[in-house]
Amino acid sequence: MAVHVTNECVACGSCVAACPFGAIEMANETARITEACTACGACIETCPVVAIVRDDEGQSAVVVDKDAYQGVWVYMETYEGKIRGVGHELLGQGRVLAEALGQELAAVIIGDGVEALAGEAFASSASKVYLVEGPEYQHYNTDAYTAAFTDLIKRYQPSVILMGATNDGRDLGPRVACRVGTGLTADCTNLGIDEQTGLVAWTRPAFGGNIMATILCPEHRPQMGTVRPKVFKRPEQDFSRIGEIVRVASPVSPADIRTKFVELIKVCTAACNLEEADIIVSGGRGMCGPENFCLIEDLAGVLGGAVGASRAAVDAGWKPAIHQVGQTGKTVGPKIYFACGISGAIQHLAGMSSSDTVIAINKDADAPIFKMADYGIVGDVMEVLPLLTQEFKKIKSA
């Protein structure tokens, strides 16, 4: 817990009413902090007898036996019965870290009826799979998944945990890190091993993407971080590989889940699923206005690709932030990336440099984007895009 109740508590109940998360209850004539606590501090300010304090104010620092923590874990996020691509990407990099540290690489799969997915994790180089199954995990929810993951960590004590910086990963990672008393480096764009300390070196953008910070976690375990999808290439799978499945009983009861799944409403179509797209058509400041993004959307629709945008286009309000590609947006690695009216600022290049093939369209022949493009078209995107769309339509119809 980040806060705790001392013996000075007089059971006045002020903190119960003050907690915005309902994380305090009265038991045996004293207040008790539950797992729902987010350490916001509202109860500390409210308590009239100063009986609620932060851990670092009322307790001595906990010394972690770092040698007891062994193994590199990768959380394999699932959606509609399938493993998201970022899980396989992290297994590939996890193998590199595990070999450098001389430790075992394991995957963590949580879901309902997902045992068959273990074979995919083994194929992507996992040596072991920790499997937690139950109907309570059919759809992602913070309470159930946090409790299950926390239980796994406390039982098996991994040294390193990698998670995808997806919507669910960004929700689950910080929650689990708080429960087990460690730090978490979010939205990493690179991973390595620090030569001097042997710790995992987590690299992420800082100060609005103006610098890249490398972060270490020397005193706490496990070392945790979320990594952006498409930062690392997905490894070639070998389905002849086998490994050990460790089935762990679900620690979650219905009372632990404070939300109820009612309905899944898909508001993001394939056009904005940038992380999983094989083809992305992105527009930048050169599109000159939101009305011209229909040209981007038309080409993406013909190719079955996703629609991206540069930061300049997003900041101008031409496209929602969910479409942003770049250091402060999404990191992508499609087979084909169209950069339309994008000059090629270093922040944008950092988000799409993993693309297999880059096709740039810009009327400025000296634009930086052409230096990394595999194919370049010097011309007005307003004229070039309709012609490309028309030609691709002809090819598909033939």
Of 58, 74, 96, the one marking the end of a domain is 58
**CATH code for position 19:** 3.30.70.20
Tell whether 168 is covered by a domain. yes
Q: Within this chain, do residues 286 and 222 fall inside the same structural domain, yes or no?
A: no
CB atoms within 10 A of CB 154: 11
In a domain, 264, yes or no: no
Q: What residues contact residue 136 under an 8 Å CB cut-off, 6+ apart?
A: 112, 144, 250, 252, 254, 257
Q: What's the pLDDT tens digit per position in 131-187?
A: 999 999 999 999 999 999 999 999 999 999 999 998 899 999 999 999 999 999 998
pLDDT band per the 50, 70, 90 thresholds, residue 272: low
At 340, list the tokens. 């339309």
Judge if 187 and 218 occupy the same domain. yes
Instruction: Please give the average per-residue pLDDT across 248-266, as a whole number.
Output: 85
Q: What is the per-residue pLDDT for 327?
A: 80
The answer as to whether 208 is a domain residue is: yes
Do residues 8 and 81 share a domain?
no
Tell whether 47 and 132 lie within a shared domain. Answer: no
Q: What's the rounded Cα separation, in Å, for the pair 381 and 373?
A: 16
In a domain, 261, yes or no: no
Beta-carbon contacts of 137 under 8 Å, excluding residues fewer than 6 positions away, are 110, 111, 112, 144, 145, 148, 250, 252
CA dihedral 125, 128, 132, 133 (to 10 degrees): 70
Q: Which of 192, 225, 256 is the last residue of a domain?
A: 256
* Residue 74 and residue 184 in one domain: yes
- Same domain? For 309 and 234 the reply is no
Three-state secondary-structure class, residue 140: coil
**What is the chain's mean pLDDT, rounded?**
89
Where residue 376 sits, what CATH number does that domain have?
Answer: 3.40.50.1220
Question: 296 and 201 in one domain?
Answer: no
Count of domains for the chain: 3
* Sign for the pseudo-dihedral over CA of 310, 314, 318, 321: positive
- Convert the pLDDT of each residue in 12-69 to its tens digit: 989 998 998 888 988 888 898 887 788 888 898 899 999 898 876 444 455 778 889 9
Place of tokens 């070998």: 238
Mean pLDDT, to the nearest integer, of 208-222? Answer: 85
Residue 278 located in a structural domain: yes
Enclosing domain of residue 293: 270-397
Q: What number is the average pLDDT over the span 215-221?
A: 92
**pLDDT band, residue 267 (cuts 50/70/90):** low
pLDDT value at 208 more than 70: no
Q: How far is it, in rounded angstroms, from Cα 176 to Cα 33?
A: 17
The predicted model gives 116-141 an average pLDDT of 94
Give the model's pLDDT for residue 59: 44
Question: In whole angstroms, how large is the CA radius of gyration of the chain?
Answer: 24
270 pLDDT band (50/70/90 cuts)? low
- How far is CA 178 from each of CA 172, 198, 348, rounded to the nearest angstrom? 10, 24, 32
User: Of 256, 278, 295, which residue constitutes the final position of a domain?
Assistant: 256
Q: Is the pLDDT of residue 102 over 80?
A: yes
Q: State the CATH number of the domain containing residue 105.
A: 3.40.50.620
Closest of 54, 58, 47, 44 to residue 9, by C-alpha: 47
> What is the structure's pLDDT at 60?
44
128 and 208 inside one domain: yes
Q: Select the more confidently predicted residue: 363 or 231.
A: 363
Q: Give the percent of the chain with pLDDT over 70.
A: 94
Does the residue 265 lie in any domain?
no
How many percent of the chain have pLDDT more than 90? Answer: 61
What pLDDT is attached to residue 80? 85
For residues 295-327, b (16+ Cβ closer than 10 Å) or e, as one string? bbbbbbebbebbbbbbbbbbeeebbeeebbbbb
Residue 305 within any structural domain of the chain: yes
One domain for residues 176 and 107: yes
pLDDT surpassing 80 at residue 2: no
- Residue 240 CA neighbour count, 13 Å, CB half: 0
| Whether residue 54 sits in one domain with residue 71 | no
Task: Indicate if 391 and 365 belong to the same structural domain.
Answer: yes
Whether residues 246 and 292 fall in one domain: no
263 occurs within a structural domain:
no
Residue 90 has pLDDT above 70, yes or no: yes
